[in-house]
Structure 1
């Protein structure tokens, strides 16, 4: 008995489609491989550049920036760039203000002026505003050191401490976190960093004195 064959079992169209898809797959694999290699090169480039930039800053800059980003994501930019401490229970705003003014007479930072900011605000009859006092401090020698290094530091002068009451009635003392400025100053010499650290330390002492109402 003769075996019969189906003359139409082989389809040139199907074979061409198969070869086309195989070719397309090879092209896609090649493109993805090239793209992956390119991404690795780009990441390596930015890593090397980042290392070069990091060397020009303080060694602890990365830690300071990490803490800044954490506070920024948890709260907001205003909280991330400041240091603030609450007044101790029983200490009034008036006591804190008097403590700061008294301590400044013996401080390395001279109290230039204080502003009762809430008194400058124009309010409608019957409206009230919360207490806000700004203290401005300066030290001639420290300022000269900073300005000799970089005149742009003038925008951070004079150094300020704010004494205020928030919307919940809690009283605070707050100042700019100079840690970010200290760690993020590129190629700063030892003397410049030392002066910034001294200023930061003295501002924190003033805030601690005010928060505890020490006279």
Structure 2
């Protein structure tokens, strides 16, 4: 056998050995992951791709939609409120952070406002499943003017919450998917100024 053949054989042996050690060392983790939601793998893969592309873990956990040219922040805000009302999701608060920052620093600051939406009955069902879901409540949409002056809408990507672990009970999953679709509608129609 040539030296190249021996080298490839050695590499093959090392890969097989590493796989066996990994399977033994991570057997509990592998077993647990097998019980996850069927979409968990793609959710985590998409997150990892975004982290590798941007170097920013926060970017991997959000959705963002730019305001359409000609749509003002006020137009987007009014459209978001109208869409929330149409989908019967409660607007439970707004935080005009840029106004607060302006008061504190004594000069204008770029647009930064947080809108909070909630379906209270779905929220309590999520809490009954896991108190950790309280960190996702209420659903937030942030309006952020970037440093170049473009305005964006951001929200947490709910796929991790819905698909990232063991499957939610079917009825709860359906409700969570409905809230996800509602938040995406609020973002996309708000960004387009679509009442």
Q: Normalising by the residue count of structure 2, what TM-score does the alignment of the two structures yield?
A: 0.84
- 1:168 and 1:213 map into 2 onto residues whose CA distance is 21
- Shift, 1:46, TM fit: 4.2
Alignment counterpart, residue 141 of structure 2, candidates 143, 161, 170: 161
- Shift, 1:103, TM fit: 2.2
Q: Cα deviation per residue 1:137-183 (whole Å; 9 max; x = unaligned)?
A: 11122112101111111111111001111001111011000001111
Q: Cα deviation per residue 1:45-72 (whole Å; 9 max; x = unaligned)?
A: 1464343112221011111111100001
1:90-101 superposed matches below 5 A: 90-101=70-81
| Residue in 1 that maps onto 2:4 | none
Secondary structure in structure 2 of the residue aligned to 1:145: helix
Q: Cα deviation per residue 1:61-118 (whole Å; 9 max; x = unaligned)?
A: 1111111000011111121100001011111111111111222222232111112110
Q: 1:38 to 1:102 in 2, by over 3 A?
A: closer
Alignment counterpart, residue 117 of structure 2, candidates 134, 137, 146: 137
Which 4+ stretches in 1 moved above 4 angstroms? 35-40
- 2:94 and 2:166 map into 1 onto residues whose CA distance is 32
Higher relative contact order (CA 8 A, sep 6+): 2
| Residue in 2 that maps onto 1:69 | 48
Do the aligned residues in 1 keep the contact of 2:84 with 2:182 (CA within 8 Å)?
A: no
Do the aligned residues in 2 keep the contact of 1:84 with 1:174 (CA within 8 Å)?
A: yes
Q: 1:39 to 1:117 in 2, by over 3 A?
A: same
Q: Judge which range, 43-52 or 83-92, deviates more.
A: 43-52
Do the aligned residues in 2 keep the contact of 1:145 with 1:195 (CA within 8 Å)?
A: no
| Residue in 2 that maps onto 1:45 | 24
- 2:52 and 2:88 map into 1 onto residues whose CA distance is 35
The gaps in structure 1 that reach 5 residues or longer are 1-31
Secondary structure in structure 2 of the residue aligned to 1:188: coil
- Shift, 1:185, TM fit: 2.9
The alignment covers a number of residue pairs equal to: 181
Q: Normalising by the residue count of structure 1, what TM-score does the alignment of the two structures yield?
A: 0.77
1:74-153 superposed matches below 5 A: 74-75=53-54, 76-121=56-101, 122-125=103-106, 127-153=107-133
| Residue in 1 that maps onto 2:185 | 205
The gaps in structure 2 that reach 5 residues or longer are 1-9
